Structure 1
């Protein structure tokens, strides 16, 4: 189930209705959701007569959890991607802005990337446990074989402990871009960074290795790969269940939008309102499946 943001998303209850609800749910905690079993279609103008069974609720709740897990993984990657886009799309300015601006973009990205790795690792372990070892071995292999992965991964710890972003902005006006030259001397003086990153002794003799953005692009692409592996495996593991939800709700023939009034005792005492809660039905399942197809995770069209 999901709340929709409409100006008219709530219904003002009468004093009599409020008294009846409070009396009926007297043992409920103040903030516990009270489902009033009053339903509306997409017009939300008057109640409709419809039966929502326990099996309906079970399928609605299972689908809602499935969708919530998918969006949770998507939102974490989206945060990393937004930070990546801001860093990569930075334009040179004259006179140059204060270094703090560049430092913030770099720090935001390497921090958000670490959050993505940690969160997605936990997400895979929880939601597709049978796949976790294989996925985690791929992650470890990327770490061990990619210098860019290790540099960006441990740069976050370096910045956190040293309180210093070891780069200098370099503007390339001919291509309207900004890159960042790594402060190699300071990085190589940090034994913890050197021991963890494990670079060949002559690694930075290649000048292309001295610039941060090349490492960031490779790092981001590897994180994107890990994200796609996890999401596709999750949806493939659930594809039969999604088909079951799709077929089940198709037979139930609910309105295209089905709302239920919900409230809490806190809300009743404060505003006297009940909210329109959008329930999951065939249309919301189909819409989510269409979204997954657009994202390119899996093609459910073969299933329905």
Structure 2
């Protein structure tokens, strides 16, 4: 049972560590590509961040490792470091991670090859992502710089020393549950995710910070619905609630078939406003077009269906 628990803990730890290393690579790539976060979801195991390109970055916060008779599982500190050449490189316990040729592994993209004259150069390839696993013979962490084809021992023991085995004595009552070990598998410091309206800041275990912009698309909600019946020649204010952040939103309204429509002022504190609508002097059916722009070229359209009798 003890061996089974240890193997399960090792498998989970290796899986979470490699997912987190990939997540860290995605954060660096997002930072360099000017991507931004649109959704933040906290899960039982960590966080999921939805990006504006549709991709999802998952980060596990790691569970506490086993301690005491189970042995304490320890994880090397994986991080990234800026260099004087303008690139970002992988580090392990503060030292640069090197590939099979002895070169430092870049965590950002590698520039694509230049095409022939008249052709566009190839797209840059992503930087290499190291993989980690525990060598069951030596009990040490080993690292691969070629996606698992070859592995190199890191010299970092994966398990702490167990206590000496005492003489066998009579069975006694179960003692209290032992203290668990340090956080394992996580690349982030405890409470290393700070979610704000305009950004998300990630604090790594070595206190390096990565900040990505967070933009929630602007949207309108009409509490009274989208269908309205009015008397002929009547003026009405149709309320809406606006929410989101990032960019500067603008609202426009246009009527047709004799209807007049105009967006009123927005109470930025309350996030509320209205569309002013005036029906024609005769019975009519029309659509009021409401346009919401975010100041960055993106536009959302809403349709208010109106009837005058």
Q: Return the structure number with greater relative CO, CA threshold 8 A, min gap 6.
A: 1
Higher-Rg structure is 2
Which one has the bigger helix percentage? 1
TM-score band w.r.t. shorter chain: under 0.3
Q: Normalising to structure 1: TM-score of the pair? A: 0.25
Q: Normalising to structure 2: TM-score of the pair? A: 0.25
Which one has the bigger strand percentage? 2
